[in-house]
Every structure is written in C-alpha cells, then in structure tokens.
Structure 1
Amino acid sequence: MNNALEMDDLRNQLVDEIKSKVSLTGPVERALRTVRREVHLPGATAAEAYTDQAVSIKENPNGPLPLSLASVPSTVAMMLVQLDAQPGDRILEIGAGTGYNAALLSELVGPDGEVTTIDIDPGVTLHARDALNNAGYEQVRVMERDGLKGAPEHGPYTKMIGTVGFWDVPRALHEQLVEGGRLVLPLRWRGQTRSVVLTRRGDTLISEGMELCGFVPIIGQDGERTTTLPGDTIRLHHDQDLRFDADALNDAFATPVAEVWSETRIGRQESFDGIWLRATAFEDAVCRIEVTDQALKNGVRRPAIPFRSVALVGGDSLAYLILAIDEQEADPARQVQLGAAGYGPDGTTLAKKLAAHIAAWGADRDAAPSLAVHPIDAADGDLPDGHVIAKEDSRIVLSYA
C-alpha cells in the first residue's frame, strides 16, 4: 500500500473513532475526512498524526505547559460542531496552532467564506502558514496578532473560535462579532474549563451549550492565583477575586476531619467534573485544592483527585471532594461513593454544602447551567437572576433553571 492510501485509511479510522465520541454533523465529518492532518505535523509519525491525542508543537521554556499544541482531534471535532460554520461565514480563529483547524474551517465555509487565523507567536504563525500552503489552503489568512485584540481590520466576523484557553472574554472580540454571531471558546472560571457556545445579543453573550475541555492558556491573561499553606504541602488554586488566609486554613488541618457522604455513586471511570461546574453556579469561594504526597503522609484526608479536586473555602475552614471505593459492590456503575471532607470550625457545614451539590448533580448528571457574559460595567439591575463572577472585562452570570 502506498503512503497516500495508508494515510487515507488512518484518517478514516480516526474519524470513525471520533464518531463514537462526538455526534458529528455531515459537513464536519466530510472536512475531517478531507484535511490531511499529517501535513500540519511534519515531525510526527503517521500513528501520531492519526491518534486521538494532542501533539506538542512548541515547548514552553518557562513552564510545564507547551506554548502551542495540536489539539486532540475529537475535541477539535466537538468544537467545530459547536461552531456550526456555514458556507459563506467570515471566521476568526484565535490560536493558529498547526493550521489544521483553519484548514477544516476553510472546508466548512467554502469558496465564498473567509478564515482568518491569528497567533501572538511568530514561529507558530510561520508553521501554520507553511502547512496551509503545503496542504492547498493558501486562501486562509494567517496573521501575527495578539489574540486578546483580534483582527478588526478584517471584521466583523459571523463566527469566532478560540483554540486557546480564556480566563475572560475580551471586549475587543465581542465588538468584532456581528449581532447574532457565534463565539466558541474554552472559558475558564473557578479552576475548570468548558468549551462554551456564545451568541451575541447586543452587549451580552448568551450561552447555548458547553462541554468539558482543556487548553493551553492564552498569553496575556493571568486571572488565577495560588495560595500555599505553611509547609508547602497543600495549595489552593483560585481566581484573583478570592483571597484566603493561609495561616488560618493551615490551622484548620490541625482539627479532626469531618466526612459527609452523599448517596451518589458512580463507576470507576465516570467523570464527576459536573459537581465542580454546579458548585460554581452557587458558591463564591470555589477553588481547586492540591494535596501533595507529603500532606497525605501527614494524615490529610485524600481528595478525590489529589492535584485538582474542587474545594469550598470559608474563612478559617474548607471542604473538598472525596471518594470511597466499595469493593463489595457488584454493579460497576455504583462502585464509587462520593462525599466531602471538611476541616476547621465550619468544616462540617461546608462539607454538607458540597455534599448537597454532589446529590443535585447525581440526580441530573447532564444538566448544565445557563451562562451569560455581560460587560464589566453592567448595572446589577440589568443582570439576570443567578450567581455573578466578576472578571476583568466581564461579569459572568450562571444559573440552573
């Protein structure tokens, strides 16, 4: 078998795998079967190019996360379904990456549409430009630009998509989107990220759905902080509007743990990130707790996931998600019980509150909150009912019906 036919087979096998994970539309499936991902990953093997996994294309000398990635193909597909690009659309992509996503977008908008992809890194844009040219997508516009500012000279756009993580929705992007236009971007709040579908309605962006995802953060937004408790064995990762007393919380861990168990049970491989999402729609001090091996050796109750479990903090107390595996349970879908561990004077109260969120999620695991993005200067009276989270450029309002 020649190399081209082998690549075609591998591409089709990957798309078949993606279809088992994502409900593809006809146009998105055709684009995935058409665009040659291997052209955009010249250093990757055929297996790497057509495996459902991310591939690093530029490492970060200053941190653990790479500066640029070729995203997981099933995530790419999911976001393209969310975007619902149509022939003739004018699209802005923030985060050029390898150029692969821009090629897919070009297939979706057709000869009457336009695709502009931007990236702040000149090396990334050069890679994307070369790959798009080699793949036959010379019509795609590639620009070195700050993604937070967009590319107004080629707007307004009917659709926008972010392929890097955003902590806030820049006002500049909002203004470059036409009324009724759609913006899909990985939006991060309270330590978790969702690919959110937003439609412009005047000064407001209204969500039409969201999916769990993870992306390299965009350069220029730094809205998260870390509070390290004395001894550096426990850390809280939180948004900049939250302030914690490290000494008081450290003292809390000297008190006995209070465990509160819910009736909610899950399978060993089942995701429970929806609990975190639900908590963000009701609680102010939602954050992520990281517990090191040394803390566990010191007797701290093991969180559900030691490096990123959801936590609620209140003054000198906190509570976080825990789990227990029932080896005697025969039903694989019920072998893990979820609960909360509380520390400090109000630890039991916070644990009960978290357990209530666990139970609410357990009763409707597919429920997602409505989300609206309002300008930062929007008056309180102009905001809908719900929980408000203040960012730099916007106020996000979350609510469950």
Structure 2
Amino acid sequence: PAGLGLRTVNSCIQLLPTLDGKALFTVEDVARLNDGRPHPCQQAMVDCHGSQCGFCTPGFVMSLWHLYERHEQAPGREAAADALSGNLCRCTGYRPILDAAEQMFQGERAALDLSATVKALDQLAGDTALVYESTEAANPARRVRFVAPRTLSELAAWRLALPEARLLAGATDIGLWVTKQFRALGDIIYLGRVEELKQLTLSTDTTGAAQGLSIGAGASLEDAWEALTAHVPALREIWLRFASPPVRHAGTLGGNIANGSPIGDCAPVLLALGADIVLRRGDDERTLPLSDFYLDYMKNAMQPGEFVQALQVPFPAAGSVFRAYKISKRRDSDISAVCAGLWLELHGDTIAAARLGFGGLAATARRAALAESALIGQPWTEATLRAAQAALAQDFAPLSDMRATATYRLKVASNLLERFWLETRPAQPLAAAQVQVWPALA
C-alpha cells in the first residue's frame, strides 16, 4: 500500500515500545479491512480445508495476507512455500494450505485501503527521541529506560551516556532471552527508529559498474539479503533459507554480525566476500576487516561506547568465483550445522587469492587460513583441492553438539569445498541443475 510497508513479524518477541510509530495488524483486521467479509486468503483456507487445529491458523492467514498484498497474481507454489516457511505447524497437512495460496488469487481482487492508517501515523510522527522509563518487574526499586533515538548523532550520544545499555534492533534473539529465559534486560537503546542506519548505498567504479554495497547496521536482513543477491546471485538460496520471512523482516544484518554466533549464516558469507565493518563511538568512526572483528566465543573488537554503523561488502569481481552453502537438518527455519562462503580469484587457471569463511566449526565464524594458503598460487585442479581439504582438517577443531558431531562437521566442510571445485573448476564445471540439493516444489 502507498505510504506503508507491510511486513510479517513474530508477535511473541515484539517488545511493546518498539511498536511506537507503527501500525499493528492482527488476524482480526484482515476481514475488518475487507468490509467485514472474509478476505480471499481466509476464504481460500476454508474452501481448501487448510485450517489447522487452532492456534497456528491465524499465523498462516497473516502470512498468506502478506503474500497476497505483495503480488497481483499467484507467484507459484515455491514462492508460497517460501512465504510460509516461518509457519512451522503441519498438523493437518501442508498441501491444502499451498492450494489456498494459489486459489486466493483466482477471484475478484480485494481492495486494501489504509489511507486512514497512514494519516494517523503521519499525525503521530515526530523527530524526537522516545524516552520511556519504568521499573523492573523483578526489582521494582530499579528504574530502567527504553530510549529510541531518531538520528545517528543521538544514538552515538545515548551510547556514551548509557554504555551498559542493551542495544536492541529486531529482537529476534534478545526477545527470546525474555520469553524463554525470563532475563531482565536493563536499560535499552532501540535502533529501529534511526533511518540513517537503514540505508543501502551502492558504490560504483568510473564506468558506473557496481563494485559493492554499504549496508546500514539497521537494515533488515530481508532488505540486506535482497540487495546483495541482486548483484551476487549465488546468495539467493542461502537468502531464502536464512531463518524465515518474519525473522528476516525484523532482524538486522548489523545485529546478526554484532551478536557473533558461531553458527550464524551471515558472517561466513561476508568473510568470504571480504567485508569490512564500520564502528562508531561518539563522532569517531573506524573501519576494520570483518575477519579481525571476532576475537573469541561471543567476544568482539568493539570498544566501550562503540556500535556497529555499517557493513561494507565488495562484490566478486570479474575473474573470481564465489559460492555460499548452508547445511542444516531442515530446509527452512533451521540453524546451520555448517555454513560456508567460498571465494577465489583466478588468473587463468591459477588461484591468485582465496577467502574461505566457515561457521559451525569454531568458537566464531572465521576463515580457513591453512586451506587458503594451500590454494594460493596453485592451479585450480583436483590435486590442489585435495591439498586444501587436508589443510582444512587442520584449520578447525569443532565440537559435537545436538546438531552435529565434530567428525560430521569437518567432513561436510571438506565436501562443500569439493562441491565448490566441481561447480567452478576451469574444465567442465557442473551446472547448477546438476548440484541442486533441494528440488523445486511441484
């Protein structure tokens, strides 16, 4: 709708003050906004017998409503499955819901008039920071603050004034601290109202060709991945398999990188692409390679008072090859056992430079230095691959956990390197259709 962006989010982890300045739509609004009649997405769920046992059905309806408003015509079953990937319940079968996703486009188009909502939001809009003060539930004697600055300079000032405050963006991780661990968060600085943090800026060379992308730390994961994939098509599968639309709509690239999970999917990819991270403290900025940002498990190079301002991501240049891979038990909405971003610069058949980023193999996402050394200066042949695989086994000593054993992780990482070679070798590289793991949904 004009003047308003619709995004699905997970309601259970939306902290109330983060909704300031936004319009909240629930399943009750879907029919209300359709003159009180069932919306086509609701009617299709009834007609196709797609209703679940109860609690899950409203979530499916909201995802279908979002899909409906994004497309004039049915986008196909694969796109529908992607849109529904954040709705995990399958208790009454999934096919009828996919049928509903197609059928809802077949009748008369439902109009959506949100002009009154836009007008109300315009009247509420302001350019001053929201400062909300309350008491901690577990400790009523303690006062805590929720601050939502509107500009970068305000954010920098609040960060210095409240150096111990929790920085909050999409709450896709911190929200679970509250709902699952019942943790008190203390003072919070919310980044979601700082528009400067959401900017996506393309850099070009003298001919106008795109060279890279500067991604504000507050840009949503969906916007960041979409912008990157437009210039790096090899990222498409990992973009669509990263969490789910509601998580990608709320979560931010800066938050994912700052969080520093060793099994996160963003860091290995950005390490392979040679990304830099821009940190800010007060009026001062500094830029360092992302490979220097992670120091140890959940520890990074940020100094007191600093925050992530942006990620600068160069695009693979002509003569280079790049792939990104995610290995998990489920296709959608699952945490990686191993994630890899692999990049080589080739001069003819010879490897001039290499960056191999892996997640799930160490206390942080990091590059495979020994394997990179085994590649550089060598021809991109099977013999070089085998040497790099042997070196890769010395790069990491992963742990075994509920998702995978250490042996499995190392074997998968080695196999991904081999798949990379099969797809990019100078002689007879395999086409994408020959290595597609997940078949298209019929």
Q: Give the TM-score normalised by structure 2.
A: 0.27
Greater share of helix: 2
TM-score in terms of structure 1 length: 0.29
Structure with bigger strand share is 1
